[in-house]
Chain A
Amino acid sequence: MADVQKRITDIGPPHYSKFLPPVIAANYGKWLYHDILKPGVMVHVSETGDKVFTVRCASPRILAVESIRTFCDLADKYCDGHLRFTTRNNVEFMTTDESNVDKLVKDVSDAGYLVGGIGNAISNVVHTQGWVHCHSSATDASGVVKSVMDELADQFSERKLPGKLRIALACCLNMCGAVHCSDIAILGVHTVLPKIFHEEIDKICEIPNLIASCPTAAIRPAEVDGNKSVEVNGDVCMFCANCYTVCPAMPLNNPDHDGISIWVGGKISNSRCAPKFSKLAIPFLPNNPPRWPEVVEAVTNIVETWADNARPYERMGEWIDRIGWPNFFDLCGLEFSKYHIDDFRYAGLSYARTSHLRPISFADAAGDYEEDDEAGDDEVAAAVTVGVDDIADFMYKMVADAMGVKKFKSGDLTKAAMAHFADQNCDKKTAKQGVNALIESKRCVYTYFGGSYIEIPHEEGAAK
């Protein structure tokens, strides 16, 4: 055991200067430009005339030490022992010797690692731990990434895309990565209420903390089977699982109801336009290990549709802004549902507050947007058998009895009349006629004071 007095702490990481390839150290801050020579290979040129060639390859982010040693062997062979990783889990080998490039590309590929990811390509998929390590995952991460990228590997190893494409995956709403701002985001979701372990919850969780953790205040204290516990208001729970994060006795993981949602159009960079959040494209696809075919198909479809239609440099979100969301849903063959309309704070900010519509939106007549009217016009209304004057009298009595205590609006009177004369089939139209009769008889007048009311005429305070 380490001697406590000699125990080393708080030393931080090693200084990066120890690890810089000589050409990098010598040209630090002096680089002039770069060219992408072929997929996964670029050259940077310095003010001094020095050049450095970079070969980039994908890693699955989970790496066995054996694989790291393989990368080290390659670095020893071609890069004087230097290598680095990128912010998106790729590996980069740098060499000043151009003749090393093709050999590196070959050796890296032979070792099983795809070369690519530079420029207008998919640059690997940032993802989380999933079932390999995480307690709160609604799906696996690595498996979905592998499945999707097996299908889209060409888009990493070649450069056929109009612009950059950043795909990211988070296995739950904690979103450990920048999933909320990705061109395509794959997000694990729960869709049913947590299971509460009532006997254990007070022992292992701090209940006030738990209640405070809910974004929609859905959790409240409750006694259940004699246990101090909580209950969840199902009407306002949206299954974010923050409660589970702070309290292990309330898991949401559910193999039958967890799944994956797909989001599009996010952007981190400020180039051309400001950053954007990812927006919902598909609310739910099932978990279908080992290859998640529904997810793969959905993502591939979106990628290909964008690739076929976007202009050069146009990221997913920029393309959608130009063609509009109706076109996007149409071109991708995706369904739009009420889930796609925001309902959290400031939801109205996302409504289309403009008349800017494209011809695709005029294809249907207005009537086609209405949901089917199930009540139908086939029913014949039963005949009204109460007279309008009787209704007016009833309403007058209602107002008089409540004078000085409560004021009634027109709607209050018609509702009350319809209820009172229900056995005589008093409908809304007739009840309204009763209001008209009441006013025309001058027994009541319309007033306005913080609302429109029907009152018995009196001299108002301001007139005195």
Chain B
Amino acid sequence: MADGKTYETPLLDELTHGPWPSFVTEIKKRVDKSPMCNDLLGQLEQSYQEKIGHWKHGGIVGVFGYGGGVIGRYSDLAEKYPACGHFHTMRVNQPAGFYYTSAALRELCDIWEAHGSGLTNMHGSTGDIVFLGTTTDELEPVFAELTKKGWDLGGSGSNVRTPSCCLGQSRCEHACYDTMAMCHKVTMQFQDELHRPQFPYKFKFKFSGCANDCVAAIARSDLAFIGTWRDDMRVDNDKVGEYVDNGLDIVNDVLLNCPTKCLRWDGKTLDVDNANCVRCMHCINVMPKALRAGVDTGATVLIGAKAPIIQGAQIASVLIPFIDPEKDYDDLMEIVDNIWELWCEHGKNRERIGEFIQRVNMGTFLEAIGLEPIPEMVAYPRDNPYIFFKEDEDEDDE
């Protein structure tokens, strides 16, 4: 246990000044009450002086029965900063849309203060609440108290990671489907896959209500859902006129920014070439009182986004142009099942689904999961003629 030593932290203290809220101030709020935070501050100051971190890999600690939700972390200066010798992280599955009541948050704060550093991330990058820093002995007690109050851990490791979503229809006029409902439904459906790693690598679901993609689904989820609509955009020409009267440069800011040149404005009517509208949301973003998505709404499903490691970064690509998340839910789950079965059977260690598809190629992947290839899946057809023609197979052949 720390002996209440006070650390001189001149470098970190510098970061308590300035207009932006300071993480050092946050840690300092806890140094008197938490020896762990106190030692953390000391170690962090040393890191600032030496320009190197002082944490070691960890990976075995967790709660009984789960293979994820806890990131083990040990200080490599544990003798000098014993109170943060163990500094494990617990991921707590956030409520969809990151909505809380003060009562619920206070409960979480009380649990965490009693059993850990009292420092959190609201939230981690994937979306979980992060309880930042506790010892191995405290993991089970925290878990017991969390579940008693109706909370559960999130994912980590080679499993389904905690799904996340934009706040969707709860407050946004652009949302084309109920992102929070989908996020919660999928989270509950895959509790086993979330807590017990059984995949080659991580798998992330993210749900955005429209092409603005405020949860960055297309950039970082294996299966991204982006809201869209099938029918015509709704246009209130009077309101368009009002925007123009109020100074909107509709030609330069709206018409010329349409990626498929769909819009014409003659001073009275906004003519929309709906057949070529790609639902990019720009004109709607600019004139939300005048323009709205259609009413036949749903989501585009894209697959395969990831960060650079190992084979390079990817942005997700179209897998299913349109689903109705409610009506087509079961069909969607069947496809997810097929994807996982294939990936689990043939994927390499730490191979994200996007890399797997690159390796086995998209055509083979689609065949194996039972989806037809369609032009929507490509930006353009191949431009190299090295085609692996196969002999025609009889229908009866395997």
* A residues with CB within 8 A of B: 1-2, 7-16, 18-21, 24, 28-29, 31-34, 44, 52, 54, 58-69, 71-73, 75-76, 81-87, 89, 91, 94, 112-114, 126, 128, 130-135, 137, 140, 142-143, 145-147, 149-150, 153, 156-157, 173-181, 209, 212-213, 215, 240, 242, 245-246, 248, 253-256, 258, 268-275, 277, 287, 289-291, 311-313, 344-345
Contacts and interface: CB of A to CB of B under 8 A. Distances in A.
Contact of A253 (B53, B123, B258): B53
Nearest to A9: B65
Contacts of A76: 102
Contact of B140 (A1, A62, A68, A274): A1
B102 A313 contact: no
A240 B52 CA distance: 17
Interface in B16-68: 17-27, 29-30, 37, 40, 44, 47-57, 64-66
Contacts of B47: 131, 140
B307 to A, nearest CB: 4
Contacts of A130: 53
B118 to A, nearest CB: 5
Interface in B111-131: 112-113, 118-123, 125, 127
B309 A271 contact: no
A181 B216 contact: yes
Interface centre among A65, A179, A212, A272 (most CB of B within 10 A): A65
Nearest to B121: A61
A269 B315 CA distance: 11
A84 B307 contact: no
B105 interface: yes
A28 B178 CA distance: 9
A13 B285 contact: no
A132 B151 contact: no
Nearest to B97: A16
A72 B107 CA distance: 11
30 contacts: A10-B191, A10-B192, A11-B152, A13-B93, A29-B175, A33-B173, A60-B21, A61-B122, A63-B26, A64-B30, A66-B30, A68-B120, A72-B106, A82-B99, A84-B100, A114-B19, A128-B125, A133-B55, A140-B48, A140-B53, A146-B23, A175-B308, A178-B219, A240-B309, A242-B310, A253-B53, A270-B281, A275-B315, A290-B11, A345-B312
Contacts of B144: 2, 7-8
A75 B166 CA distance: 21
A135 B53 contact: yes
B395 to A, nearest CB: 38
B197 to A, nearest CB: 14
B21 A58 contact: yes
Nearest to B18: A150
